[in-house]
Structure 1
Amino acid sequence: MRDIILFLAFAGVIPFIFKRPVVGAMAYAVVSLMNPHRLTYGFAQNFPFALYLGVVTLAAVLISREQKKLPMTPPVLVMLLFFTWYTVTTVFAQVPVGAWIDWERYAKTMLMVFITIMTVRTVSDAKVLALVVALSLGFWGAKSGVFVIFSGGGEGLRGPMSSFISDNNTLALAMVTITPLTVYVATRARTKWVKRAAMAMTALTMLAAIGSYSRGALLGTFAMGFFLWLKSTHKLKTGLAFALIVPIVFVMMPPEWTGRMHTIQTYDEDASATGRINSWHFAINVANEFVLGGGPNVFTPHMFMLYAPEPERYYDAHSIYFQVLGEQGYIGLAIFLLMFVVTWRAGGRLIRHCRGKEDLAWVVTLARMCQVSMIGYLTAGAFLTMAYYDLIYYIIAILICLEKVLVQSPQKDDVPPMRLQFVERFLERRKAKKKTRVVRLNKGA
């Protein structure tokens, strides 16, 4: 039944993609982030929905008469630069076959992110993009939070299989990163019940992140909490709320969870932590040896035998920073970090532009929550191999799109072009009918 429903939704959305390509970009984001096909049990489970949605959307963009504009703002330029550098390092990669496989996946991600930025044309489109990103992963946050409650701690928590967030650690990073956007959804809800549902989703998402047994997620949650307190206009209330929540969480969690979190202080006694340090030294050695880095997928047993301090201890990068350093070299890491710096500044420009304008208060909230999401990602990501996870690029895209439609080329009317034409024709017909009626009345008189 789930397979049929998903295929009907897939078929039903295609005509709308050709009317407005942004619909295809949104649908692709849902499939890419939420992985709804992984919730099925039949033929839909391995069907390439993302591929077909991407092809249809690209075709719609090519034939559409809508204005397609990729704003050449600093975040866009740095993302283009980073992808170009990624391509160069792939050409000269030390593990060519694996490098091109990774390049293909990353190229698809970046292509659809750029198409999303191009096709978002109105304020409503930007709002929908934020909502799509928040709810796509908020679904897994709510689902995982319920699992933590009923499992008594969350051990065994998993995300959608064969995805970026299939294991507990990667799922935890996604939950940490998306929580601020679910907070935004809760603050902008128009009805009481929608607000309550969004707040429940936020609470469950936070619980899923903490209950994932991921130490990086715990650190990311604390970093986000500190930033929220720092930017809060009610520091006393916010501080008291955190002071109450933290001990409650530690009391509710099982001893196994508490024991694992304590290993943050005793990392030198933990085999997993020392293995990660070995991987980080490997990344440094590779970056010192090759100006371009080792290229994508350089973290392999063969390369460890050549450049790792302890060659027999093979681990993945377990850090977005050392992952980029090992694969893209020092120059690639600098570009990667610059991408977040310029995006943060774009968020700051949006906040300054909209501050004090009541009708744009939602933009201030959304921009701040995107900044908090970046803090969570950059903190939790220090311990996870998720440098090319599409979620963070969609969050960057939200800020780019907001700046595009509000600062660079603000539109007076937020009605999509096709709908606007329909409304205009409807009003013209009504006006013509009124004129005809007046003429008839005058003749009758």
Structure 2
Amino acid sequence: MRDILVCLLVFGSLPFILRSPVNGVMMWVWISVMNPHTQGWGFATSFPFAALVAGATIFSMLVTREPKSVPWSPVTVVLLLFGAWMIVTLPFSLHFEQSVPLWSRVMKILLMTFVVLALVKTRAQVERLLWVLALSLGFYGFKGGIFTISSGGAYRVWGPEGTFIGDNNAIALALIMAIPLLYYLLTLTKRRLLRYLLLATILLSALAALGSYSRGGFVAIAAMGLFMVYKSRRRIAVGSALLLAAPLLLLFMPQQWVSRMDTIDNYELDASAQGRLNAWAMAYRLASDRLFGGGFEVYTPSVFAVYAPNPNAVHAAHSIYFQVLGEHGFIGLGLYLLLGILTWRTARWIIRTASERSEFQWAGDMAMAIQTSLVGFMVGGAFLSLAYFDVPYYLLCALVVTRRLMENHIDEQAAAARAAGGTGAPIPA
């Protein structure tokens, strides 16, 4: 039944995609983030829904007359350079044949990121994108939170198998990133029932993140909470709400969860933590030796035998930063960090400009929510191999498009003021 439902939704969307490629963007984001086909039991689990929707979207993009142009900015230029650098590094991969499948997957994500940038043009479409992102992840938060309550926190929460967020640590980070987006959407919503559902999803997502037993997720949600209090216009109210909610959520967690979180302070005695440090050292030595890094598949015994302090402790990177460093060298890491910095500065520009112009309050609130989400990703990502997780790239799209909308609005107002004999206000730097 689930397989049939997913097929009906996807195939039923094709006429709407062919009518307007923006509909295809939303379907693509839904499929790539939520992976609804993984909730089936039969043929749908292996059907190429993403390729079907991507093909229909690109075809519609080419034949329809809707405006389509990438809003070029320092962010989008660096994103393009980062993708180009991964094309350059591929031939120098230590394990070329094994690297090609993941390289192909990453290229598809970047291609569709630029399709999103080219097609999403209005505030309504930006908010629609955030609804799709938040609810796609919120589905697993709602489901995982109920599972944590029903099991008394005795079992770990896992994400959909075979996806970026299938691992318990990855689903924890994804749910943490979803919480600020869900809260932003809650502030936009006037319908009481929907507000209650969003609030329940936020609380259940936080509980599911704890129920994943992810120590990195616990650190990320703590960092995100502190950032929310620091940046909020109502620090006392937000801080008080978090202080009240935290003990209530922790009440559902058993002693074994507390014991696992206690190992954060004793990382030198934890084999998993030591394995990560060994993988990080391997990535640094590999990048120091090879300008182009080692390619997408470097976490193998043969590579660790050459570059790792402990060649017998073979682990994945468990860090977005060391992952990019080991796979694409210092240039790749530099581009990745620069992309993050420029994305953050774009959000900061939106927040600052919105504080000076009341008509942009929605944009300021949205950018603050995305910044908070990115804090969770940057902190939690320090302990996870999720450098190519697509959600941050779609959040980047929302920020870039929103800034362009604001700049165009300010330009139009300035032009109207000049036409009326005024001087107009310059766009903030």
Do the structures match in fold with TM over 0.5?
Answer: yes
Code of the aligned partner of 1:207: L
- Show the counterpart of 1:125: 125
- Show the counterpart of 1:33: 33
- Show the counterpart of 1:72: 72
Residues 147, 154 of structure 1: 8 Å contact kept: no
- Show the counterpart of 2:416: none
How far has the Cα of 1:248 moved from its partner? Answer: 3.7
- Show the counterpart of 2:114: 114
TM alignment of 1:65-104, pairs within 5 A: 65-104=65-104
Residues 79 and 408 from structure 1, CA distance in 2 versus in 1: closer, same or farther, beyond 3 angstroms? farther
- Show the counterpart of 1:291: 291
Aligned equivalents of 1:409, 1:390: Cα separation in 2: 29
- Show the counterpart of 1:349: 349
- Show the counterpart of 1:160: 160
How far has the Cα of 1:178 moved from its partner? Answer: 1.4
Aligned equivalents of 1:301, 1:183: Cα separation in 2: 44
- Show the counterpart of 2:422: none
Partner secondary structure for residue 65 of structure 1:
coil
Aligned equivalents of 1:62, 1:148: Cα separation in 2: 46
Residues 89, 296 of structure 1: 8 Å contact kept: no
The 10-residue stretch of structure 1 (347-356 or 382-391) with the greater mean CA deviation from structure 2: 347-356
Deviations 1:148-207 (A, max 9, x none): 111111623111111111121111111111111011111111111111111111111111
Residues 293, 327 of structure 1: 8 Å contact kept: yes
- Show the counterpart of 2:424: none
The 10-residue stretch of structure 1 (351-360 or 166-175) with the greater mean CA deviation from structure 2: 351-360
Residues 154, 208 of structure 1: 8 Å contact kept: no
- Show the counterpart of 2:361: 361
Residues 115 and 410 from structure 1, CA distance in 2 versus in 1: closer, same or farther, beyond 3 angstroms? farther
Aligned equivalents of 2:406, 2:390: Cα separation in 1: 24
Partner secondary structure for residue 311 of structure 1:
coil
Code of the aligned partner of 1:228: M
Aligned equivalents of 1:181, 1:131: Cα separation in 2: 8
How far has the Cα of 1:134 moved from its partner? Answer: 0.9
Code of the aligned partner of 2:325: L
- Show the counterpart of 1:223: 223
Partner secondary structure for residue 181 of structure 2:
helix
Code of the aligned partner of 2:402: L
Aligned equivalents of 1:80, 1:409: Cα separation in 2: 26
How far has the Cα of 1:75 moved from its partner? Answer: 1.2
Name structure 2 gaps, 5 residues minimum: 413-429
Residues 219, 379 of structure 2: 8 Å contact kept: yes
Code of the aligned partner of 1:395: L
Aligned equivalents of 1:282, 1:345: Cα separation in 2: 32
- Show the counterpart of 1:63: 63
Partner secondary structure for residue 186 of structure 2:
helix
Q: Percent identity?
A: 40
Code of the aligned partner of 1:404: R
Aligned equivalents of 2:366, 2:144: Cα separation in 1: 24
Code of the aligned partner of 1:121: K
Residues 408 and 296 from structure 1, CA distance in 2 versus in 1: closer, same or farther, beyond 3 angstroms? farther
Residues 94, 294 of structure 1: 8 Å contact kept: yes
TM alignment of 1:376-415, pairs within 5 A: 376-408=376-408
Name structure 1 gaps, 5 residues minimum: 413-445
- Show the counterpart of 2:201: 201
Aligned equivalents of 1:309, 1:145: Cα separation in 2: 40
Deviations 1:35-85 (A, max 9, x none): 111111122121110011011111111112222110111111111111111
**What is the total number of aligned residue pairs between the two structures?**
412
Residues 154, 254 of structure 2: 8 Å contact kept: no
How far has the Cα of 1:337 moved from its partner? Answer: 0.9
Code of the aligned partner of 1:324: V
Residues 170, 384 of structure 1: 8 Å contact kept: yes
Partner secondary structure for residue 45 of structure 2:
coil
Aligned equivalents of 1:111, 1:46: Cα separation in 2: 22
Residues 181 and 121 from structure 1, CA distance in 2 versus in 1: closer, same or farther, beyond 3 angstroms? same
TM alignment of 1:221-300, pairs within 5 A: 221-300=221-300
Partner secondary structure for residue 252 of structure 1:
coil
- Structure number, greater radius of gyration: 1
- Show the counterpart of 1:340: 340
Residues 141, 205 of structure 1: 8 Å contact kept: yes
TM alignment of 1:294-333, pairs within 5 A: 294-333=294-333
How far has the Cα of 1:146 moved from its partner? Answer: 0.9
Residues 156, 211 of structure 2: 8 Å contact kept: no
Deviations 1:211-263 (A, max 9, x none): 21000001100111111100112222222223333344444311111011010
Aligned equivalents of 1:15, 1:154: Cα separation in 2: 46
